[in-house]
Amino acid sequence: MAYKSVEDLKKHRVFYNFLEISKIPRQTFFEKEVSDFILNWAKNLGLEVHQDKKNNLLIRKPASSGYENKKPIVIQAHIDMVCEKRPEVDHDFRKDPIKLVLEGDILSTGNRTTLGADDGIGVAMAMAVLEDKNLKHPPVDVILTTAEEEDMSGALNIDKSWFNTNRLINIDHVVDNEIIAGSCGGIGVDLKFPVEYTKKTDNYKGYQIKISGLRGGHSGEDIHKGRANANVLLANLLNLLREKINFLISDLKGGNFRLAIPREAHVTVALEEKDVETLKDIMKNFESEAKKIYEETVIDLKIEVSAENLAENLLSKNTVDKIIDAIILSPNGVSSMIGSLNVVESSCNLGEVYIKDNHIYLVTEIRATFDKNRDYIYNKIALIGKYLGGELRAFSVYPSWVYKAHSNLRDTANKVYSEMFGENIKTLAVHAGLECGCFVDKIQGDMDAISIGPNAWDLHSPDERLSVSSTEKVYKFLTKILENLD
């Protein structure tokens, strides 16, 4: 069906629901309002609903006529979203609704902010199943979780009593002709070390160097696509500069979130006036080379310099060297592959660099299917801390979801897809964290799970986009799976 406007999308219940929740802020750890909205919505439908202290929701829908004796199925999605915006965009994710733009088949925000289809569209599909009295299905338990985009603490803290079945459909994938049957685990790591200061002198002038125009993206699903990391680019530029001129640093900031590939970074340097032209020449050459290297993956790479006021206290030469060394030495990007599946096995993303409370922080997300490889990367970062006098902290650990050779649910989904669309659906493991891994020890018996979802691109960035027709396709697929379950 063709839609002429965002308002026109309301004709389809999935999009109606998505538009409704897009009016409500749902930043990670601030999901109470949207959780309460869905809670009351479910109560008004007369459904059994539970909300826990993490604002997770369990909504139970009885089986349709003739399906009462079939085993229940869980449909699961997360209600929080990554909040990223362009620097020039005025948007408060704590109070402002997401402004949607429809261009042909593509729903986006016009490249202003993240769209929140990750995973709002999964939530909207689950809501559509709950409200449709004409669907054929076994008992349906919808579980909507919080904090997926930060530490998965919502899923990790769900009470085991919420599960009365061992089969689950997660709606958090982004390719409509694929079934995900495994995902990596992950861990957040911050490396910090104390900074030393020196007084500003009159012979120093301040200049801000800013890197922008990178594509960014999801730190797992996009990590193999060769996209530039703004933090790494900035450190490499500073490394070249220190070979030619003397400078100190007044301020430094790169990236906003460890789960997003950094699109922007800036540093304010203090240097003598005589070195300004050398600075500009090195920057110009570096920008030219970077554009060649990342030609296919950048939007509009820019490295700009402008006059900037300096703080009274500047980072010492020793601290500046430590910062540059730490970033350059930090592992970033793909670490290992699973050759038989042609999928990334382990990786890391240096998502944030910033100064706070007299310390420099480097924040990294490590992803791996196997714990040993996760620990291998962690130990690399630990060695950087050891030799540079830093402290390491691990946080937000979540488990992997190991691929199973046989799955009844997967077999049903494969059969349904083939009958509906005349082709076989692809089955694979994905290099991203999915909550299925968190439920392994909560579901009675062996978990039988799949993850599906509509075509979407550039998650965790303001370029996030969703296909309308693909969303319709996947919703039909979902309802047919429910109809055909044993």
Compute the residue count for the chain.
486
Q: Based on the domain organization, do 295 and 319 belong to the same domain?
A: yes
Q: Which residues of 195-226 form beta strands (DSSP E)? A: 197-199, 205-214
Q: Based on the domain organization, do 151 and 30 belong to the same domain?
A: yes
Residues 6+ apart with CB under 8 A from 157: 52, 54, 56
Q: Is residue 54 part of a domain?
A: yes
Tokens of 368: 């791996």
Structural element, H or E, at residue 129: helix 117-131
Q: What's this model's pTM, rounded to 2 decimal places?
A: 0.84
Closest CA to 113 of 310, 225, 256, 302: 256
Burial class (CB in 10 A: 0-12, 13-18, 19+), 138: buried
CA dist 52 and 190 (Å) reads 30
Q: Supply φ then ψ for residue 73, to 5 degrees.
A: -130, 140
- The pLDDT tens digits of the residues spanning 210-249 come to 999 999 999 998 999 999 999 999 999 999 999 999 999 9
Residues 161, 164, 167, 168: is their CA dihedral positive or negative? negative
pLDDT-based confidence at residue 429 (cuts at 50, 70, 90): confident
For residues 462-484, average pLDDT:
98
Q: Based on the domain organization, do 149 and 246 belong to the same domain?
A: no
Catalytic residues: 80, 148
Tokens of 486: 């044993």
Q: Is residue 2 part of a domain?
A: no
- Whether 246 and 275 have beta carbons less than 8 Å apart is answered as yes
Q: Is residue 339 part of a domain?
A: yes
Tokens of 340: 């038989």
Q: Based on the domain organization, do 392 and 252 belong to the same domain?
A: yes
Q: Based on the domain organization, do 238 and 323 belong to the same domain?
A: yes
Q: Beta strands 167-171 and 248-254: pairing type?
A: unpaired
pLDDT at residue number 321: 98
We report the CATH number of the domain holding residue 41 as 3.40.630.10
For residues 421-437, average pLDDT:
93
Residues 6+ apart with CB under 8 A from 56: 35, 143, 144, 145, 146, 154, 155, 157, 158
DSSP state of 378: H
- Whether 369 and 305 have beta carbons less than 8 Å apart is answered as no
- The pLDDT tens digits of the residues spanning 283-315 come to 999 999 999 999 888 878 999 999 999 999 999
- Chain position carrying tokens 């042609």: 342
- Whether 83 and 93 have beta carbons less than 8 Å apart is answered as yes
We report the CATH number of the domain holding residue 322 as 3.30.70.360
Burial class (CB in 10 A: 0-12, 13-18, 19+), 16: middle
Whole-number Cα distances in Å, 229 to 281, 353, 374, 379: 22, 11, 20, 22
In one letter, which amino acid is 167?
Answer: R
Q: Based on the domain organization, do 384 and 445 belong to the same domain?
A: no
Q: Is residue 443 part of a domain?
A: yes
Residues 6+ apart with CB under 8 A from 280: 305
Q: Based on the domain organization, do 26 and 147 belong to the same domain?
A: yes
Residue 255, domain extent:
187-398
Give yes or no for residue 396 having a pLDDT over 80. Answer: yes
3-class DSSP state of 81: strand
Q: Is residue 375 part of a domain?
A: yes
pLDDT at residue number 339: 79
pLDDT at residue number 195: 96
* Final residue before a domain boundary, out of 398, 427, 455: 398
Whole-number Cα distances in Å, 61 to 42, 136, 145: 10, 12, 17
Structural element, H or E, at residue 456: strand 456-457
pLDDT at residue number 225: 94
For residues 145-159, average pLDDT:
95
pLDDT at residue number 445: 66
Q: Based on the domain organization, do 197 and 52 belong to the same domain?
A: no
- The pLDDT tens digits of the residues spanning 35-83 come to 999 999 999 999 999 999 999 999 999 999 999 999 999 999 999 999 9
Query: What region does 254 belong to: left with phi over 0, alpha with psi -120 to 50, or beta?
Result: beta
For residues 467-475, average pLDDT:
98
Q: Based on the domain organization, do 225 and 108 belong to the same domain?
A: no
CA dist 303 and 394 (Å) reads 33
Q: Beta strands 426-430 and 178-183: pairing type?
A: parallel
Tokens of 354: 């910033």
pLDDT at residue number 329: 97
Give yes or no for residue 346 having a pLDDT over 70. Answer: yes
For residues 398-427, average pLDDT:
94
> What is the percent of the chain where pLDDT is above 90?
91
Helices 32-44 and 13-22: crossing angle, nearest 10°? 140
Structural element, H or E, at residue 428: strand 426-430
- Whether 373 and 335 have beta carbons less than 8 Å apart is answered as yes
User: What torsion do the CA atoms of 222, 369, 432, 329 make, to the nearest 10 degrees?
Assistant: -50
CA dist 38 and 457 (Å) reads 26
pLDDT-based confidence at residue 443 (cuts at 50, 70, 90): confident
CA dist 474 and 124 (Å) reads 12
Give yes or no for residue 444 having a pLDDT over 70. Answer: no
Number of independent structural domains in the chain:
2
> 172 or 150: which carries more pLDDT confidence?
172
Q: Based on the domain organization, do 254 and 112 belong to the same domain?
A: no
Give yes or no for residue 456 having a pLDDT over 70. Answer: yes
- Whether 447 and 439 have beta carbons less than 8 Å apart is answered as yes
For residues 116-143, average pLDDT:
98
* Final residue before a domain boundary, out of 339, 373, 398: 398
* Final residue before a domain boundary, out of 348, 381, 398: 398
pLDDT at residue number 242: 97
3-class DSSP state of 55: coil
In one letter, which amino acid is 300?
Answer: D
pLDDT at residue number 66: 96
Q: Is residue 365 part of a domain?
A: yes
- Whether 366 and 345 have beta carbons less than 8 Å apart is answered as no
Q: Based on the domain organization, do 304 and 384 belong to the same domain?
A: yes
pLDDT at residue number 166: 93
Q: Based on the domain organization, do 467 and 327 belong to the same domain?
A: no
- Whether 82 and 460 have beta carbons less than 8 Å apart is answered as yes
- Chain position carrying tokens 């509009």: 300
- Whether 226 and 406 have beta carbons less than 8 Å apart is answered as no
- Whether 193 and 326 have beta carbons less than 8 Å apart is answered as yes
For residues 449-476, average pLDDT:
97
Q: Is residue 105 part of a domain?
A: yes
Average pLDDT taken over every residue of the chain = 95
pLDDT at residue number 343: 85
Q: Is residue 254 part of a domain?
A: yes
